Amino acid sequence: MYDLLLRSGTVHDGLGGPARLADVAIADRRVAAVGHDLGPARRVIDVTGLVVAPGFVDPHSHSDTVPFLEEPQPFKLLQGVTTEIVGNCGFSCGPAVPETKDFLPAELSGAAFASLGEYIDAAEAAGPSNNLAVLVGHNTLRVAVAGMRAEITAGELTRMCELAAQSFEAGAVGWSSGLEYVPGAYAGLDELIALGLVAKRWDLPYATHMRSESEGLADALDEAIAVARRAGIRLQVSHCKASGRAVHGSAGMLLDKLAGARRAGVDVRGDVYPYLAFGTMLVAVLPPIACEGGEQALLERLADPAQRAALRALAESRDTGTGVGFWRELTPEDVQILTHADPGIQGKRLADLGGDPWEALCDVLRLDPQASGVFHTMHEGDLTAFLADPLISIGSDNGPPVGPSHPRTFGTFPTYLGTYVEKEEEMPEAIRKVSSAVAAQFGLAGRGWLGPGAIADVCVFDAGTIGHAGTYERPGVRPTGVEHVFLSGRQVVADGEFTGGRQGRMLRRGTR
């Protein structure tokens, strides 16, 4: 007697195999059988005409603090996402020390823990709505030992490596960097390789928001591949993009480099979200040196006309290496202010503020150094090339589902499946890209595929109606088409509605 039978669905194994009409039987948290005439079950759901797939796995999420929100948050379950990888872009909720934790992004500093293990324990106790697996962030490690200083000592690097090792022992499934952000931008190749060699002891991957996603894209990708090659670890290139008009059309170069690295023995993959705008902190537009010493030092620099001018000269320089920020990627029309302490500024483009755009940006940041924005800098041709490549999975890069947000928070996976997967024969590969390709990269045993013995994380959706109507002005629209979602066999979405509760788990390294 099975616990549940999903009857007469179009079943995808998540491994890229052809779809087949079949029943799926679930018992004791796992898929027990796939086929016909499987026998009786305590509960039967008719899923005729619907796709039955492994629950989606998001390789690039910033849902780190979502378990601590007062109410359970189903925004990813409603997209069919059963597992998220958090701790991305070099920032995690630990390890943090009291003296420097305020240097972390505001949304993380309020939930910073002395060790990553303490964070995992606290998030488990609070109760995630879906499964979370955690990366330890390079920026967070650096802040813990050296604050916002650009230079670190050999002893401080040793301490960073010790903290990374403790994080892996506590259950982290890999590590991440955010090299366009401070203090990660100050790191050299040797520092990154040293941390990579620590991850090698546990055979864990490296996920990187690279040093440049614009004019320095090729060099930044070479650096990421060099870290992985010299440390002997897997590489995940986060949110692949060619950002800014100067590099539109560069998707082929990036994809050729990934394929070449794989031929040379580096296990490298990437991820992308199906949107032409990215979102991040406005301060990232400035050269990283602007933030050295922390927020007060930044405000003092922005208050000094001479230092503003010096930062502008650096930001507008032709240097495609480190330390220039991404001002040169943008036009004033590209920058849409998402969050700001002044509600009158929220939603406006930098061009709407009038006057000199650089001075307007500095003024905005003086009023609120934690302000964030949406940046419309990418080209449809590059996006479609990334989405079609077999090495590229789908990652949302979402933030918490509170306050102004990017539509990727609420609609990445339905948008991909509903907009960019146009033919029925494309669906097996599309589902592989949102399931097994990610689970394998991060060592999530038993997840990301659908067959006997797999953990019963399952998404059932209507291929004809799946989608998301959210916009940059109204991002929080409910997606459509996801009918049923199960976590370890427990139903958490029924007929398109969240069933309530906190049924997710914190997935520690090596656990099933």
pLDDT digits (tens, 9 = 90+) for 361-395: 999 999 999 998 999 999 999 999 999 999 999 99
Tell me the one-letter amino acid at 293: G
The predicted pLDDT at position 102 comes to: 83
In this prediction, residue 323 carries a pLDDT of 65
Q: What is the model's pLDDT at position 294?
A: 86
Mean pLDDT along residues 335-356: 92
**CA of 340: how far to CAs of 282, 294, 459, in Å?**
10, 19, 37
Pairwise CA distance, residues 190 & 204, whole Å: 18
For the record, the structure tokens of 130 come out as 């879906």
Lowest mean pLDDT among 23-27, 178-182, 502-506: 178-182
For residue range 39-65, list pLDDT tens digits in order. Answer: 999 999 999 999 999 999 999 999 999
Given pLDDT bands bounded at 50, 70 and 90, which one contains residue 443?
Answer: very high
Mean of the pLDDT values across residues 4-27? 98
pLDDT band at 356 (very low <50, low <70, confident <90, very high): very high
Q: For residues 318 and 328, what is the distance between their CA atoms, to the nearest angstrom? A: 9
Q: Which CATH number is 56-280+378-446 given?
A: 3.20.20.140
For residues 481-502, average pLDDT: 98
First to last CA, the chain: 24
> At 320, is the pLDDT very low, low, confident or very high (cuts 50, 70, 90)?
low
User: What's the rounded mean pLDDT across residues 253-275?
Assistant: 98
* Average pLDDT, integer, range 23-35: 98
Q: Quick one: average pLDDT of 303-327?
A: 83
pLDDT tens-digit map of 198-244 = 999 999 999 999 999 998 999 999 999 999 999 999 999 999 999 99
CA 324/CA 287 separation, integer angstroms: 4
The pTM score is: 0.93
pLDDT of residue 144: 96
| Structure tokens belonging to residue 433 | 């890209």
For residues 447 and 424, the answer to whether their CB atoms sit within 8 Å is: no
Residue 329's pLDDT band (cuts 50, 70, 90): confident
Q: Is 324 helix (H, G, I), strand (E, B) or coil?
A: coil
Look at residue 438 and tell me whether its pLDDT is greater than 70.
yes
Q: Inform me whether the pLDDT recorded for 277 exceeds 60.
A: yes
Tokens 């000269």 locate to 313
* Residue bearing the bigger pLDDT, 489 or 512: 489
What span, in angstroms and rounded, lies between the C-alpha atoms of 283 and 275? 22
Residue 110 has pLDDT above 90, yes or no: no
Q: Does residue 115 or residue 405 have the better pLDDT? A: 115
In tens, the pLDDT along 151-190 reads: 999 999 999 999 999 999 999 999 999 999 989 999 999 9
Q: Point out the least confidently predicted range of 130-134, 205-209, 244-248, 417-421.
A: 244-248
Residue 8 has pLDDT above 70, yes or no: yes
Task: State the pLDDT at residue 324.
Answer: 74
Residue % of the chain over a pLDDT of 90: 87
Q: Once rounded to an integer, what is the mean pLDDT over residues 3-10?
A: 98
Q: What pLDDT score does 404 carry?
A: 80
- pLDDT, position 19: 97
Task: Please give the average per-residue pLDDT across 477-481, as a whole number.
Answer: 97
Q: How confident is the model at residue 396 (pLDDT cuts 50, 70, 90)?
A: very high
- Residue 177's closest CA among 163, 195, 190? 195
Average pLDDT over the chain, rounded to an integer: 95
pLDDT value, residue 106? 78
Q: Where are the domains of the chain?
A: 56-280+378-446, 281-373
SS3 338: strand
Strands 277-281 and 372-376: antiparallel
Q: How far is CA 470 from CA 219, 407, 415, 454, 502, in A?
A: 35, 6, 9, 33, 25
C-alpha span between 186 and 184 (Å, rounded): 5
- Region 287-298 average pLDDT: 89
